[in-house]
Structure 1
Amino acid sequence: MDPKQAQLLREIQQLEFVAVELTLFLDTHPGEQEPLNDYNLVTNHLNQLKAHYEKMYGPLAVYGFSPMEYPWRWTDGPWPWETTHY
Protein backbone atom coordinates (compact mmCIF):
# COMPACT_ATOMS: atom_id res chain seq x y z
CA MET A 1 0.00 0.00 0.00
CA ASP A 2 1.46 3.34 -0.96
CA PRO A 3 2.01 5.94 1.80
CA LYS A 4 -0.75 8.27 0.52
CA GLN A 5 -3.28 5.45 0.57
CA ALA A 6 -2.22 4.41 4.07
CA GLN A 7 -2.47 8.01 5.33
CA LEU A 8 -5.94 8.45 3.86
CA LEU A 9 -7.11 5.17 5.38
CA ARG A 10 -5.71 6.25 8.77
CA GLU A 11 -7.59 9.56 8.55
CA ILE A 12 -10.80 7.68 7.73
CA GLN A 13 -10.29 5.40 10.72
CA GLN A 14 -9.63 8.35 13.02
CA LEU A 15 -12.77 10.16 11.88
CA GLU A 16 -14.82 6.98 12.26
CA PHE A 17 -13.60 6.74 15.85
CA VAL A 18 -14.56 10.36 16.53
CA ALA A 19 -17.99 9.80 14.95
CA VAL A 20 -18.62 6.76 17.17
CA GLU A 21 -17.53 8.65 20.28
CA LEU A 22 -19.76 11.60 19.43
CA THR A 23 -22.65 9.20 18.79
CA LEU A 24 -22.19 7.66 22.22
CA PHE A 25 -22.05 11.10 23.83
CA LEU A 26 -25.16 12.27 22.00
CA ASP A 27 -27.01 9.12 23.10
CA THR A 28 -26.71 10.37 26.69
CA HIS A 29 -26.81 14.12 25.96
CA PRO A 30 -29.35 14.49 23.13
CA GLY A 31 -30.02 18.17 23.80
CA GLU A 32 -26.43 19.33 23.32
CA GLN A 33 -26.12 21.42 20.17
CA GLU A 34 -22.33 21.80 19.93
CA PRO A 35 -21.54 18.05 19.93
CA LEU A 36 -24.29 17.57 17.33
CA ASN A 37 -22.66 20.24 15.18
CA ASP A 38 -19.31 18.49 15.63
CA TYR A 39 -20.87 15.16 14.68
CA ASN A 40 -22.33 16.63 11.49
CA LEU A 41 -18.98 18.21 10.55
CA VAL A 42 -17.10 14.97 11.22
CA THR A 43 -19.52 12.78 9.28
CA ASN A 44 -19.54 15.20 6.35
CA HIS A 45 -15.73 15.20 6.23
CA LEU A 46 -15.70 11.42 6.70
CA ASN A 47 -18.05 10.88 3.76
CA GLN A 48 -15.87 13.14 1.59
CA LEU A 49 -12.72 11.24 2.53
CA LYS A 50 -14.38 7.89 1.89
CA ALA A 51 -15.57 9.04 -1.53
CA HIS A 52 -12.06 10.28 -2.36
CA TYR A 53 -10.48 7.03 -1.14
CA GLU A 54 -12.87 4.92 -3.19
CA LYS A 55 -12.29 7.02 -6.30
CA MET A 56 -8.53 6.63 -5.94
CA TYR A 57 -8.15 3.10 -4.54
CA GLY A 58 -11.41 1.22 -4.85
CA PRO A 59 -14.24 0.36 -2.47
CA LEU A 60 -13.86 0.23 1.30
CA ALA A 61 -16.86 -2.07 1.67
CA VAL A 62 -18.68 -4.34 -0.73
CA TYR A 63 -22.16 -4.15 0.71
CA GLY A 64 -23.96 -1.26 -0.86
CA PHE A 65 -22.11 1.90 0.10
CA SER A 66 -20.53 2.55 -3.26
CA PRO A 67 -21.49 1.84 -6.83
CA MET A 68 -19.08 -0.53 -8.51
CA GLU A 69 -17.47 -0.01 -11.88
CA TYR A 70 -16.65 -2.64 -14.45
CA PRO A 71 -14.66 -4.74 -13.99
CA TRP A 72 -15.50 -5.86 -10.45
CA ARG A 73 -12.60 -4.50 -8.34
CA TRP A 74 -13.47 -5.67 -4.84
CA THR A 75 -11.12 -8.64 -5.02
CA ASP A 76 -8.17 -6.59 -6.26
CA GLY A 77 -5.66 -6.35 -3.44
CA PRO A 78 -4.68 -5.36 -1.01
CA TRP A 79 -7.79 -5.31 1.15
CA PRO A 80 -8.34 -2.04 3.04
CA TRP A 81 -7.29 -3.64 6.34
CA GLU A 82 -4.20 -5.33 4.92
CA THR A 83 -1.65 -2.70 5.69
CA THR A 84 1.30 -2.55 8.03
CA HIS A 85 1.74 1.23 7.64
CA TYR A 86 -0.25 2.42 10.66
Structure 2
Amino acid sequence: MELKIQVLAISSRTGKSERGEYVRHDLQCFVDQVVGVIPSYDPEFKPEAGFYMASIGWSNYQGRLQPRIEKLTPISQTREHAREQVKA
Protein backbone atom coordinates (compact mmCIF):
# COMPACT_ATOMS: atom_id res chain seq x y z
CA MET A 1 0.00 0.00 0.00
CA GLU A 2 1.36 3.38 -0.98
CA LEU A 3 0.88 6.25 1.45
CA LYS A 4 1.28 9.75 0.12
CA ILE A 5 1.97 13.19 1.45
CA GLN A 6 1.27 16.27 -0.55
CA VAL A 7 3.69 19.14 -0.32
CA LEU A 8 2.28 22.28 -1.87
CA ALA A 9 5.13 24.69 -1.27
CA ILE A 10 8.52 24.62 0.35
CA SER A 11 9.98 27.73 1.93
CA SER A 12 13.67 28.24 1.22
CA ARG A 13 13.89 30.55 4.24
CA THR A 14 12.88 27.95 6.81
CA GLY A 15 13.21 24.68 4.87
CA LYS A 16 9.69 23.82 6.01
CA SER A 17 6.65 23.25 3.87
CA GLU A 18 4.16 26.07 3.90
CA ARG A 19 1.19 23.72 3.51
CA GLY A 20 0.95 19.97 3.34
CA GLU A 21 -0.59 16.71 4.45
CA TYR A 22 1.72 14.36 6.34
CA VAL A 23 1.12 10.71 7.11
CA ARG A 24 4.45 9.33 8.36
CA HIS A 25 8.19 9.28 7.69
CA ASP A 26 9.84 8.60 4.32
CA LEU A 27 6.90 8.76 1.96
CA GLN A 28 6.34 9.52 -1.66
CA CYS A 29 5.07 13.04 -2.14
CA PHE A 30 4.05 15.15 -5.08
CA VAL A 31 5.43 18.66 -5.15
CA ASP A 32 3.34 20.94 -7.32
CA GLN A 33 4.94 24.23 -6.39
CA VAL A 34 8.48 24.85 -5.21
CA VAL A 35 9.33 28.15 -3.59
CA GLY A 36 13.03 27.44 -3.23
CA VAL A 37 15.64 24.90 -2.29
CA ILE A 38 15.86 23.33 1.15
CA PRO A 39 19.14 24.83 2.36
CA SER A 40 19.73 22.48 5.27
CA TYR A 41 21.02 19.55 3.22
CA ASP A 42 21.89 20.39 -0.40
CA PRO A 43 22.24 23.96 -1.70
CA GLU A 44 22.86 22.64 -5.24
CA PHE A 45 19.50 20.83 -5.40
CA LYS A 46 16.99 22.68 -7.58
CA PRO A 47 13.66 20.90 -7.05
CA GLU A 48 10.90 21.07 -9.65
CA ALA A 49 7.31 19.92 -9.68
CA GLY A 50 7.11 16.14 -9.57
CA PHE A 51 7.23 13.09 -7.34
CA TYR A 52 9.79 12.72 -4.57
CA MET A 53 10.62 10.55 -1.62
CA ALA A 54 10.40 12.83 1.40
CA SER A 55 12.19 12.33 4.68
CA ILE A 56 10.07 13.97 7.35
CA GLY A 57 11.41 15.12 10.68
CA TRP A 58 9.54 16.64 13.58
CA SER A 59 10.08 19.93 15.35
CA ASN A 60 8.52 21.07 18.60
CA TYR A 61 6.60 24.29 17.98
CA GLN A 62 4.81 25.84 20.96
CA GLY A 63 4.47 22.44 22.61
CA ARG A 64 3.09 20.73 19.48
CA LEU A 65 5.01 18.49 17.11
CA GLN A 66 5.17 19.93 13.60
CA PRO A 67 6.33 17.98 10.54
CA ARG A 68 9.44 19.27 8.78
CA ILE A 69 10.86 18.21 5.43
CA GLU A 70 14.46 17.13 5.88
CA LYS A 71 15.21 15.80 2.42
CA LEU A 72 13.56 15.30 -0.96
CA THR A 73 14.87 12.70 -3.40
CA PRO A 74 13.41 12.57 -6.93
CA ILE A 75 11.59 9.27 -7.52
CA SER A 76 13.48 8.58 -10.77
CA GLN A 77 16.78 8.92 -8.88
CA THR A 78 15.70 6.43 -6.22
CA ARG A 79 14.70 3.96 -8.95
CA GLU A 80 18.09 4.30 -10.66
CA HIS A 81 19.84 3.79 -7.32
CA ALA A 82 17.77 0.65 -6.70
CA ARG A 83 18.73 -0.71 -10.15
CA GLU A 84 22.42 -0.10 -9.41
CA GLN A 85 22.08 -1.95 -6.10
CA VAL A 86 20.52 -4.94 -7.87
CA LYS A 87 23.33 -5.04 -10.49
CA ALA A 88 26.08 -4.83 -7.87
TM-score (norm 1): 0.20
TM-score (norm 2): 0.19
Q: Structure 1 or 2: larger helix share?
A: 1
Which of structures 1 and 2 has the bigger CA Rg?
Answer: 1
Q: Structure 1 or 2: larger strand share?
A: 2
* Higher relative contact order, structure no. (Cα contacts within 8 Å, ≥ 6 residues apart): 1
